[in-house]
Structure 1
Amino acid sequence: MNEKYKWEYYHLNPSQLPILPPPLPPECGWIYTVKAGDFLSSIARQFGIPVRSIIEANPELTPPYLIQPGQNLILPIKVHTVTPGQTLYSIGELYGFDWRDIARVNQINPPYTIRPGQKLAIPGVTCDILPPPVPPPPPACPGFMYEIKQGDTLYNLARQYGTTVDMLLKYNPGIDPRRLQIGQKICIPVPETPTCPGFMYEIKQGDTLYSLARRYGTTVDMLLKYNPGIDPRRLQIGQKICIPVPETGSEKRCLILANTNVVPKALALALLDYTENKIMVILDQVPDPVQLGTELNVYKAWLQSPQGYTVFSLYPTPQKIWAARSTPAQLLKNYNRIQISAEKETNTAQPAGPLIATGILPTPS
């Protein structure tokens, strides 16, 4: 086939012509570098857009709107990406502008060659520049700020404070775990602490979780559950932990008595079993009764009913905790109040010594 017929064949058979990709949607915002002698007005004329649109697209510009050579400005005009087969002429037709203006603002000289992927500013076609997305603020620290010390690692800190390395990274975005700096402050996210279903206890010399669990009728697992982050091997004297009171059935109650100013740190519990009609009283963090009065030698629990008092004595354990178990003469549900006081052993009528703790007995279901 000679060249003449070959040319006619392709024009008579459009399906044989190469298929060109559709034009890409234009972007918005052309970066222009200020040159010597430029003014906002001259740049606006060059690109066929209002001066005000340049000012609005560059909020850092303030009166008197001076610009410096080398400064970058965002021009709110469309930016076209060249696709295969496009020419300056076809791009001008696409936007309704003279292709020579496109060549001029993009400093394209004869023979006006452009290549696929090349970015071209389209003069005179303004667009709305969306502000850059604002990165979300780091999550609020659900714990406390810690200052990095010599030898600290995220792994050690996670173990020390009962959290994980992943949680430390989550609440410290951008931190480099391999390059912690002494004095650097990071967030230590403390695990959410469950509400203490019991009372707060202050650690004393010789305390262990095992001994506390046995003393207060709970388990080591329960102590760990309600004290997340605690290190059972490093209990500190004065450290306060939650002692969870064992869950009881509907006919069993645990009552934490209110202490008085006589012994402000006293801790008093009454465990009531309405089914078996038994009561156990525990008194901790109190001095020997004689320190409250030379004639006082025992702590007594008083159950009060409309008919009077039922009394029983508490006895010290080797751990210096005073305790007693009793089966009252009346049904527990007939009593309405319990009191603990320091007394003479011979006093069995009614409370006469310093009142240590008191409480209103709950009503069984």
Structure 2
Amino acid sequence: MLRVVLALALGALAVAAQSTPCQTYVVQAQDTIGSIAASFNILQSDLESAQLECNSGYTPGGFLQLAQTLCLPPYYPACANVKTAGDNEACKYYTVQAGDTLSTIAAALNLPQLEVEAANPEATSLQVNDFVRLPGWSDVCAAPGDNTQCRVYVAAEGDSLASIAIAFSVDVAELQEANPSLPTIGDNNAVLQPGQRINIPPFTAACGDGVVVSKPTNCFGYQVEAGDALYDIATMFQTTTTLLVEANPELAAGGVLAPGSVIKLPPYDEATCVGGISLKPRPASYSPSLVIAGDDDAAPTGAPAPAGAGAPAPSPAFSRRRLI
């Protein structure tokens, strides 16, 4: 009986691989190239040829790596432009290249043109970098090209739902909805247990286990007012002119700051900045006579001064503004 169930399961996998184009498989413990080929009812030579075409990192006769992604045949050159939305292998989409039409895309992926058209009823004329949904697409699929889907954050010491919502620029109510099983659901400020997995919205059932991501860095800035100098801004936010220039390399040449321009406040990491820059107002307690520890020789000009480690910047109320 167990053999029958296993055979049916493997058969279902094989059918799925053949019915959806550009399928992939993630290597599990104990897998071999031969066992994977047998699981999907394909020739080992075809599976190995597909790896060479899609540049998966596997070479015939070599060893598989745990969690390595393999391409399943048939593999077409156009598969290089096909991606999966979220974690659902049925949710495939194609990124339009110059000269593409629904007809050429269907031909390049060996798909029935009518099925491609049915999956994209609103498509009239295609533009480069548009997304074309492929047959098998359904309402459970994440939006094509949306890399904010299916994120999971692993709670660290001191984290709460409220602090995580702020860090990821999402609404606390939506965060609660995405994590209904959390024991702290009734208290947004209750400290979570380190190691708890928190789904970051938008997060649907199609996400499965999701993709673990780091907490993004909050990105703050200050909008220059008339008469402000770099030294003034460093003093306001208890940092140094050197650190300000590191976050804003365009200021290294010095000169007068333009009113209305935005100065990024350190620490600033653009790679992890989400939701735009939060503008901090001029601190009410700011006085031009304040001196910053470690930056004693700075002058109220645009020139950078020697690095110094000031205290963390205060946290007054702020407004959110996205920089384009």
TM tier, smaller: under 0.3
Q: Decide which structure has the larger Cα Rg and report it.
A: 1
Instruction: Return the TM-score normalized by structure 2.
Output: 0.23
Bigger proportion of residues as strand: 1
Bigger proportion of residues as helix: 2
Q: Which has the higher contact order (CA 8 A, sep 6+)?
A: 2
